[in-house]
Amino acid sequence: MNTDTSIMATVADIRCTEDFVAMLNGAGMKGVRINSAHVSPEVFRSMVTLIRRVNPGIKILMDTKGPEMRTTALLAPIEVKEGDSLTLCSGREDSEKDLIRIAVDNLEKYVREGASVIMDDGEILLEVVAVEGPMIRCRATNSGVLDSRKTVAFPGMPVPPLPAVSERDRLNIAVAVEIGIDMIAHSFVRSASDVEAVRELLAGSHTALYSKIECREALDNLEEIVAASDGILVARGDLGTSIPLQEIPAEQLRAARAARAAGKPLILATQILQSMISRPAPTRAELSDITLAVMEGFDWLLLTGETAQGQYPRECVEILDKTICNAENNNLRCLIS
């Protein structure tokens, strides 16, 4: 069934086969997201070619890295236990078990004792216990597993100045324009000027530019960002590391209202069916969340980890499709004004 709210799914390079894409497409997927932070331009190009070979009608969105802070590569995932000591520092060399490097300059100048650190959308939570020269000594306040190149946030603290478009992004955007993908979602947009910096690289192309709403600055400048963008993507994962979690539903609705008032399309991402990464059936709360997104007028619901590495990717698309259809059959689309 054709619906006004469509399904987009993240496809990782290791899963990008014709059989996998065709399976998701047959289950109801209409768009594919490729995270350019994790693939080379050559791999990105080959993935787009394969997806188009399966079905030229599948919309393709490239997610940029944007001005974000991430850890560097690890030889192997690190198991962190509550109470463990970890040391952070600026650097671009590979990280080690006892020294986690973050690819940004002079981080120690912006961090203070007692600050909270959120890594990988909350997989790892730390508290800064001391700043000793370039070394930031931390204590883990939960247990989890830290893998390579994960996001890092310091809620409520200023972050080092970061360019709106990294050199890696420039290269990937050039490839995206060359092969004519449908959409680019730029990460960690903070203002309309960030949007215009990407817009300059898209000059003359038909690629739509979506701004990702995932930090406090984006919320503070929401109206100007919406006006400068072709659409917006509400990315709840990183947004939840920048604002208190209880504020996310209200900010999601505020973003939806702003985009709809401007006639701009909307994408909602992160934890759509999080429980189904490892379980074959969703929670009732997840189905209610999906229906609420339809009621708020989102044009796309984007699966991330559910299809990138989850155990039940086809089932996720199927249940998402059924839930969207049920909501629209009951005339719930854009019910919340």
CB 214: neighbour CB atoms within 10 A?
28
- Which single residue is written with the structure tokens 């990183």? 238
Q: Which residues are catalytic?
A: 33, 70, 212, 270
SS3 of 332, please?
coil
Section 331-335 average pLDDT: 93
Helix-strand-coil percent breakdown of the chain, rounded to 5? 40, 25, 35
Q: What is the pLDDT of residue 163?
A: 84
CA proximity to 230, closest of 188, 195, 256: 195
Question: For residues 176 and 46, is the Cβ–Cβ distance under 8 A?
Answer: no
Q: What is the pLDDT of residue 1?
A: 64
**What is the C-alpha R_g of the chain?**
20
Model confidence pLDDT, tens digit, residues 196-212? 999 999 988 999 999 99
Does residue 88 surpass a pLDDT of 70? yes
What lies within 8 Å, CB to CB, of 20 at 6+ separation is: 11, 313
Strand pairing class (116-119; 152-153): antiparallel
Question: For residues 11 and 47, is the Cβ–Cβ distance under 8 A?
Answer: yes
The percentage of the chain sitting over the pLDDT mark of 90, rounded to a whole number, equals 82
Model confidence pLDDT, tens digit, residues 28-81? 999 999 999 888 999 999 999 999 999 999 999 999 988 878 899 998 999 999
The confidence band for 98, taking pLDDT boundaries of 50, 70 and 90, is: confident
Strand partners, 32: 9, 60
pTM for the whole structure = 0.86
